[in-house]
């Protein structure tokens, strides 16, 4: 870093002025994002289309998402979760094109990773894809989606479940910790498979995994979901929006309404600053955390008619995500309300904004609609 000369303060003042101007521009942009009119259903379409144009690739009926606007393929679990994003869009629009896109992504995934995924050491990665495939089956009736999901859930559950630490699933095959990011998704995946197959064994698995997570990682006083417990019994209390979300999703499915509500309130009141979800790094796992969290919170809210409690907060975030998009291509990153930068963007980091606008209802009272 270049040092300023003590004998000539002018360069320092010029540099401070430039910094001040930049900060002022950022503050004005953030203020505009927070006061902009509410997004509309057409805006939800726009953000989804922008993401597809920037990242969706297809060849011979096999599709994938690019990692960035410059290329590469996105990783295993991020690919699975962006497939869930496509299903979120279908549940909002009921447009067959989204199911075609999902089917192409499914075939592209199998082309790259095979029909069984035991080579992946991360048990949570497998379960994210099981959720996507089972959701796809429940929406389409496609048997192939269900069968691949069932095969891979069974192999993952068999290798990850153990009696140590009272039960639950190991995060990785090295069996060093049991994490919320595998047990919450595991409970959701098992519940969905119970619906898809009619096999009550999956319902029992779902309940057992949820109850383990509730006992081990859930704080009943606050609604916090701790990140993990290691094999020595030490709990990492870090709370993340996606872990809150999958706990809420499992609790909602299994009828633990009070626990779901408490975890949702913790997310809204404790993890947010000025009501806005955490600004995770878009080039890393955190880029899509908020999309996952909101997906399950919004479902819980709608099914239990708790819009008065949660919808204004969710709409505030969706509006900020929409306002933060860049005008050149309508991509919106995950660090709203800051404006989306003009350089390279990441498909995973841009997925949270898309998910929010699919699962959150626009503000019907806003005059700008």
Angle among Cα 141, 146, 147 to the nearest 5 degrees reads 130
Residue 146 has pLDDT above 90, yes or no: yes
Mean pLDDT, residues 293-320 taken together = 98
- What is the per-residue pLDDT for 36? 53
The pair of structure tokens assigned to 322 is: 């929409």
The pLDDT score that the predictor gives to residue 28 is: 43
Fold of 121-264: Glycosyltransferase (1.50.10)
**What stretch(es) of the chain map to CATH 1.50.10.20?**
121-264
Nearest Cα to 216, choosing from 255, 161, 179? 179
Query: For residue 60, is pLDDT > 80?
Result: yes
Average pLDDT rounded to a whole number, residues 89-110:
98
Write down the pLDDT at residue 10.
Answer: 39
pLDDT band (50, 70, 90) for residue 6: very low
Residue with the bigger pLDDT between 51 and 10: it is 51
Q: Residue 13's pLDDT band (boundaries 50, 70, 90)? A: very low
pLDDT of residue 304: 98
- 22: part of which helix (H) or strand (E)? helix 10-35
Residues whose CB falls within 8 Å of the CB of residue 62, separated by 6 or more in sequence, listed in order: 104, 107, 108, 111
User: Residue 249 burial (CB < 10 Å; 0-12/13-18/19+)?
Assistant: buried
How far the first Cα of the chain sits from its last, in Å, is 48
In degrees and rounded to multiples of 5, residue 134 shows phi and psi of -70, -40
> Is pLDDT at 84 greater than 70 in this prediction?
yes
**How many angstroms from the chain centroid is the CA of residue 183?**
16
Q: Cα 102 to the chain's mean position, in Å?
A: 17
Question: What tokens does 232 get?
Answer: 């020595």
Q: Provide the pLDDT confidence category of residue 20 given band limits of 50, 70 and 90.
A: very low
Nearest Cα residue to 176 out of 244, 246, 234: 234
Q: Distance (Å, rounded) from C-alpha 351 to C-alpha 39?
A: 17
Residue 21, pLDDT score: 39
Quickly state the pLDDT bin for 364 (edges 50, 70, 90): confident
The three-state secondary structure class of 322 is helix
């Amino acid at each position: 870093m270049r040092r300023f000369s003590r004998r000539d303060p002018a360069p320092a003042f010029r540099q401070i002025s430039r910094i001040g101007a930049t900060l002022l521009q950022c503050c004005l942009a953030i203020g505009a994002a927070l006061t902009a009119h509410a997004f509309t259903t057409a805006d939800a379409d726009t953000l989804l289309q922008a993401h597809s144009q920037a990242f969706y690739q297809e060849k011979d009926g096999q599709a994938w998402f690019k990692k960035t606007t410059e290329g590469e393929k996105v990783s295993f679990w991020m690919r699975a979760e962006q497939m869930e994003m496509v299903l979120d869009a279908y549940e909002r629009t009921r447009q067959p094109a989204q199911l075609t896109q999902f089917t192409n992504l499914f075939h592209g995934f199998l082309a790259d990773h095979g029909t069984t995924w035991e080579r992946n050491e991360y048990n949570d990665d497998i379960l994210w894809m099981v959720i996507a495939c089972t959701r796809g089956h429940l929406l389409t009736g496609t048997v192939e989606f269900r069968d691949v999901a069932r095969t891979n859930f069974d192999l993952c559950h068999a290798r990850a479940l153990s009696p140590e630490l009272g039960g639950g699933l190991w995060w990785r095959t090295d069996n060093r910790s049991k994490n919320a990011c595998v047990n919450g998704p595991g409970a959701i995946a098992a519940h969905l498979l119970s619906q898809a197959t009619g096999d009550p064994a999956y319902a029992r698995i779902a309940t057992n995994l949820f109850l383990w997570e509730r006992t081990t990682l859930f704080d009943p006083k606050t609604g916090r979901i701790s990140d993990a417990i290691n094999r020595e019994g030490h709990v990492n209390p870090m709370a993340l929006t996606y872990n809150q979300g999958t706990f809420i999703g499992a609790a909602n499915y299994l009828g633990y309404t009070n626990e779901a509500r408490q975890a949702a309130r913790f997310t809204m009141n404790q993890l947010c600053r000025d009501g806005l979800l955490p600004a995770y790094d878009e080039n890393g796992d955190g880029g899509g955390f908020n999309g996952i969290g909101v997906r399950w919170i919004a479902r819980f809210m709608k099914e239990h008619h708790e819009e008065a409690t949660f919808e204004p907060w969710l709409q505030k975030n969706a509006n900020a995500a929409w306002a933060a998009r860049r005008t050149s291509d309508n991509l919106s990153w995950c660090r709203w309300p800051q404006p989306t930068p003009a350089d390279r963007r990441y498909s995973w980091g841009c997925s949270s904004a898309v998910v929010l606008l699919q699962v959150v209802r626009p503000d019907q009272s806003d005059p700008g609609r």
